[in-house]
Structure 1
Amino acid sequence: MLNLAESGDPKVKGRIGVLIVNLGTPEATSYWPMRRYLKEFLSDPRVVETNRLLWWFILNGIILTTRPKRSGHAYEKIWNRELDESPLKTITRAQAEKLAAELRGDGPILLDWGMRYGSPPVGERLKALKEQGCERILIFPLYPQYSAATTATVADKVFEAMADLRWQPALRFVPPYYGEPVHIDALAESIDAHLATLDWVPDVILASYHGLPESYVAAGDPYYRHCQETTRLLRAKLDLSETKLRLVFQSRFGRAEWLKPYAQDTVASLPGQGVRHLVMVMPGFAADCVETLEEVAIGLAETFRENGGINFSAVPCLNDSDVAITMMALLIRQELAGWL
């Protein structure tokens, strides 16, 4: 718990809690920790919208017998061995610590962090904030673009935890920030800084977002539109054309049609179109994780070079950089304006 309040009395009332929430991570790369994490994640009806009985048999009879080992190998490639945890956990903790320092002096604020799946659980951290005297709590889902499979499921977990409390704190949520100028500025600055470290110039930059089944968008999910808007604003900020900065979607799972164009197919085809130097940026991820570090920076880099590409580089996510902390603090302050 990161205490920004003046008083040392843990029972002082009137404090404001801020809880930043990311997706989650397994506790280890071996079979059983991976299985527990995947079961929690893939059992969420927001994540997999299908017949629940049929999905139970598919999940428990097929996926959870094979996927933990494969996913464990992916995590092994990017695991933080010093702290024995995934980079996502390391980075989210660092974001919380730096945000606490940035917001110090803003008021009687307690800042904490949690994971929607895995540890530390959202419900546990919410109750801890309540026990520390927080009568108002701001939830910050670290998803720039809204989707029911991400942002909404954080809200589901928050409300589930609130159902166990007789005295419930007032709640607010930081809205999706896909088009916030401070977010676009931070992304553009991070891309410019990364390009300055290269001794080559990219022919194309791909903005890659986590995929989503097309049926979810057809049902009313605004995610695709949000991704398009982030990309459009980023092009304008960087003064790039649609052919220079292109939108793709990664991490397809299952046989259903997902949002297109697919990152894997696009990356494989680019060398045949004369693209020899490629940069990828992931504007939908607030912190580097297995999807950015293993799937993109390792896997798609190999795909590009195997098909004739020469230079490949992945822009790190905003993570706990100075521009990221400034951005996150501004978004928090905007929501707390009426509470402080």
Structure 2
Amino acid sequence: MLDAKTPAQCPAHAPKDHPKVAQPKVGILLANLGTPDGTDYWSMRRYLNEFLSDRRVIDYSPFFWQPLLQLVILSTRPSKSGAAYASIWNKEADESPLMTITKDQTAAIKADLTAEYGDNVMVEFCMRYGNPSTQSVVRKMVEAGCQKILFFPLYPQYAGATSATANDQFFRALMKEKWQPTARVVDPYFDHPLYIEALAQSIETAYGKLDKKPDVLVCSYHGLPKRYLVKEGDPYHCQCQKTTRLLKERLGWQDTEITTTFQSRFGPEEWLQPYTVEEVARLAEAGKKNIAVCAPAFSADCIETLEEINEEIKEAFEHAGGEDFTYIPCLNDDPAHIKALTSVIRENLGGWL
């Protein structure tokens, strides 16, 4: 067991002039997708350039993709994306909702784990794209004495374009450390009982506030090119389907009361279907005038939920004749979600504390 009361000191049996070493700690590093630093053109361009240059996200040949990205896409998309971000921006804190929520989640998890483990643990967060960067936070944790780090990508379902690229960046950061901490990576938690329970409670709470139960709950997950699943073996689609099935079983619903869809399609190739924006329109045309939408793949509300779902997808539903559209927020820092995340962390800390 690490001794939380031991200050920075010279190692035992070392000469008196040996540099002092920080008290050993176990680090818990939460990782989310990322956020631009601002909504202006250059902040958005820097963020989008880093994001869309990631070969895990866009795996086209750089000889084809980079000229298209640098000369065409990044000439116009930063302004459009900046306007979308501006519509949801946390103006008081001057940051995106994803940043605000991730800070709140980290603070809640830190309070929970510190109450149990004291100064033996250090809880921080990083972003795959933008700030705070994974490398900067790993450096901070190593300097603080973290000789072990548990890396936790905040994606319930595994995908190469989310979980894997976050892991890549974490290990790149470790490559720069002379004295590397021992490292573990948390498995996806798409079927964890407490995660499913937190989802179910959020839906029951939202439905309890409505005058009439929606005809269908649409579970909208972030999309991926179908090729990633069919040809490359990405397990994301199967894990999304299982999350929906377990949620349906926990709620005690029929198959007709819940459905799985995929949003945020980008580029010309076929992505996982059905597409959320088309499916909500189809539901409206089929007489399902009252629907609710949740986003189980997102641990925190962000541009894809607050702007895409609650504005663009809602508009598609209403344009097709839909009447009542309810967006159920992500789990964010809800106590049931924090309980689920800390439970996952404790399970993965086995033997370390």
- TM-score norm. by structure 1 comes to 0.97
CA drift of 1:190 comes to 0.7
Query: Following superposition of structure 1 onto structure 2, how do residues 29-108 of structure 1 map, counting pairs within 5 Å?
Result: 29-107=39-117, 108=120
Gaps of 5+ in 1: none
CA drift of 1:271 comes to 1.3
CA drift of 1:305 comes to 1.3
Structure 1 residue 168 corresponds to structure 2 residue 180: yes
Equivalent position amino acid for 2:238 in 1: R
Structure 1 residue 290 corresponds to structure 2 residue 328: no
Q: How far apart, in 1, do the equivalents of 2:193 and 2:213 lie?
A: 26
8 Å CA contact retained: 2:7, 2:23: no
Percent of aligned pairs sharing the same letter: 46
RMSD: 1.4
Query: Following superposition of structure 1 onto structure 2, how do residues 108-119 of structure 1 map, counting pairs within 5 Å?
Result: 108-119=120-131
Q: How far apart, in 1, do the equivalents of 2:336 and 2:175 lie?
A: 36
Q: Deviations over 1:46-99 (max 9, x none)?
A: 000111210111111111011111111111111000001000000000100111
Q: Deviations over 1:11-41 (max 9, x none)?
A: 5332100000000000111111000000000
8 Å CA contact retained: 1:296, 1:314: yes
Structure 1 moving runs of 4+ over 6 Å: none
8 Å CA contact retained: 1:21, 1:140: yes
Match of 2:336 in 1: 323
**Tell me, what secondary structure is at the counterpart of 1:246?**
strand
Gaps of 5+ in 2: 10-20
8 Å CA contact retained: 2:6, 2:23: no
Q: Deviations over 1:257-303 (max 9, x none)?
A: 00000001101111110101010010000000000000001211121
Equivalent position amino acid for 1:182 in 2: L
Q: How far apart, in 2, do the equivalents of 1:73 and 1:270 lie?
A: 29
Q: How far apart, in 2, do the equivalents of 1:268 and 1:6 lie?
A: 60
- Which moves more between the two structures, 142-151 or 104-113? 104-113
Equivalent position amino acid for 2:339 in 1: T
8 Å CA contact retained: 1:13, 1:135: no
Provide closer, same or farther for how the CA distance between residues 320 and 9 of structure 1 changes in structure 2, counting only shifts above 3 A: farther
Q: How far apart, in 2, do the equivalents of 1:70 and 1:173 lie?
A: 35
Provide closer, same or farther for how the CA distance between residues 237 and 286 of structure 1 changes in structure 2, counting only shifts above 3 A: same
Query: Following superposition of structure 1 onto structure 2, how do residues 188-267 of structure 1 map, counting pairs within 5 Å?
Result: 188-218=200-230, 219-267=232-280
**Tell me, what secondary structure is at the counterpart of 2:262?**
strand
Equivalent position amino acid for 2:186 in 1: V
Q: Deviations over 1:118-147 (max 9, x none)?
A: 000011001100000010000010000001
Match of 1:144 in 2: 156
Q: How far apart, in 2, do the equivalents of 1:252 and 1:92 lie?
A: 25
8 Å CA contact retained: 1:211, 1:259: yes
Query: Following superposition of structure 1 onto structure 2, how do residues 264-283 of structure 1 map, counting pairs within 5 Å?
Result: 264-283=277-296
CA drift of 1:7 comes to 5.6
Equivalent position amino acid for 1:301 in 2: K
8 Å CA contact retained: 2:40, 2:82: yes
**Tell me, what secondary structure is at the counterpart of 2:271?**
coil
**Tell me, what secondary structure is at the counterpart of 1:270?**
helix
Match of 1:24 in 2: 34
Q: How far apart, in 1, do the equivalents of 2:282 and 2:36 lie?
A: 33
- TM-score norm. by structure 2 comes to 0.93
8 Å CA contact retained: 2:27, 2:121: yes
**Tell me, what secondary structure is at the counterpart of 2:124?**
strand
Q: Which has the larger radius of gyration?
A: 2
**Tell me, what secondary structure is at the counterpart of 1:50?**
coil
Q: How far apart, in 2, do the equivalents of 1:173 and 1:151 lie?
A: 10
CA drift of 1:167 comes to 0.5
Match of 1:339 in 2: 352
**Tell me, what secondary structure is at the counterpart of 2:58?**
coil
Q: How far apart, in 2, do the equivalents of 1:271 and 1:46 lie?
A: 35
